Amino acid sequence: MSDAAAIMARLFRRAKGIGLSQDEMVRFSGLSPERLAELAKGAVPSVYEYERLCRAVAVDPSALYLGRDCDPAQTPTRFRTAFSIDRPSAADIRQLALAAEQGRILAHLLRLQGKDVPLENYRRFKPVSSRTATWQQGYELGERARRDLGTPEGPILDLGRLLGRLGVHVALVRFSSQDLDAACVWEQGAVAVILLNRASPRVEHPGARRSTLAHELCHLLHDAAKRDSLTTRVSWGAERVTSYSEQVEVRARAFAPAFLAPRSQVRAWYQGLPQGARNSDFDVVRLLAAQWGLSFEGAVWHAKNCQVISPEKAEELAKVSRPNIPYEQFEASSADVPPSRVHSSLPDRPTDLWEGWATETVLSALDAGYISVALANELLSWA
């Protein structure tokens, strides 16, 4: 078997491992069914066809050529098990594989510019302990992360920007199930990627979206035992798993409010409220949500855990209609410059996977002369 034939055989095995159908291969590659059949039987692809097929199976063309796709940590099976359900869709598995490749590419672009991935300096694997309540462990880790990262006291107004400074890319994509809130992919030496699910009602809510991002940060910081392995976490709105994995999710859900609004800071803020507001538990929770960028429901339980309302009142408020909360001050980064403004050959808008901090990184590498316009265009249109 020639080298080209061996590479193509691995490529089609990867497609089978992901579970891509013939129609999906056609859709993701842009090649005709007839040409795909010829290539599967041993026809030699053109450079263009090879690049399109690599896109379809979510692998970097150079990685496939050099055989790095053979690493067990990068196989589709690794992503399939992360879903905790029997039959995840092929498109969803491909989405995780794309994110993993993107993280490696972004880290390479950073290294070309003499930069590192700061997140690696803060990672500390922390198994869930049976000695302390799981939610309490999450609170302690969230508050410790605020201290370790050196963020100023008060609300984190732009969590997305903070994550970008850590070397974490956030992308808004679409998974097949609306029950899935988000997923994160990270490995040693790569940029971490958080995928928020457009189809999830929680992700559409600004306060819940911020909590979801903080939830994923907990996974990235504390939920991988082997530094050289690929970490993949898929977070469901409803419980899909049991035992230890469920405890990991409970801890991450508790981490989120503690990171966004540390208890000591909330108590100090509460003491500064006018007496009239403090006399109404409903107003306390409403103002807490608005001040710290939480959902009303999240603020109810956080207020209880901060001991500014009673457990009984929290149970009562959790059942009331949600008031309108103003979130205008949060995640209000200025709009990104369209890539086409940087160079006419680039797209007006990158694909969903690349929009945001990843695009900034690509354009920075282009501006510094480390990559060509052609490569920048290829990356920003990869989906």
Convert the pLDDT of each residue in 111-158 to its tens digit: 999 999 999 899 888 888 888 889 999 999 999 999 999 999 999 999
The domain boundary, picked from 222, 245, 260, lies at 260
Owning domain of residue 287: 264-317
Indicate if 47 and 111 belong to the same structural domain: no
Q: pTM for the full model?
A: 0.86
Instruction: Report how far residue 317's alpha carbon sits from residue 308's, in angstroms, rounded to the nearest whole number.
Output: 13
Task: Look at residue 160 in the predicted model and tell me its pLDDT.
Answer: 92
User: What does the block give as tokens for 274?
Assistant: 């006018």
Would you say residue 63 lies in a domain?
yes
Indicate if 251 and 168 belong to the same structural domain: yes
Would you say residue 11 lies in a domain?
yes
Would you say residue 365 lies in a domain?
yes
Indicate if 284 and 217 belong to the same structural domain: no
Would you say residue 55 lies in a domain?
yes
Task: Look at residue 243 in the predicted model and tell me its pLDDT.
Answer: 63
Task: Look at residue 246 in the predicted model and tell me its pLDDT.
Answer: 80
Indicate if 31 and 130 belong to the same structural domain: no
Indicate if 122 and 141 belong to the same structural domain: yes
Task: Look at residue 72 in the predicted model and tell me its pLDDT.
Answer: 47
Number of domains making up the chain: 4
Would you say residue 7 lies in a domain?
yes
Indicate if 134 and 202 belong to the same structural domain: yes
162: buried, middle or exposed (CB in 10 Å: 19+, 13-18, 0-12)? middle
The domain boundary, picked from 70, 97, 130, lies at 70
Instruction: Report how far residue 122's alpha carbon sits from residue 166's, in angstroms, rounded to the nearest whole number.
Output: 9
Indicate if 29 and 41 belong to the same structural domain: yes
Would you say residue 211 lies in a domain?
yes
Indicate if 122 and 246 belong to the same structural domain: yes
Tokens 């920007």 sit on residue: 161
Q: In the chain, which residues have pLDDT < 70? A: 1-2, 69-87, 224-231, 237-244, 333-335
Indicate if 139 and 9 belong to the same structural domain: no
Tokens 């006291």 sit on residue: 153
Indicate if 281 and 372 belong to the same structural domain: no
Indicate if 118 and 253 belong to the same structural domain: yes
The domain boundary, picked from 260, 275, 302, lies at 260
Query: Three-state SS string across 222-289, please?
Result: HCCCCCCCEEEEEEECCCCCCHHHHHHHHHHHHHHHHHHCCHHHHHHHHHCCCHHHHCCHHHHHHHHH
The residue length of the chain stands at 383
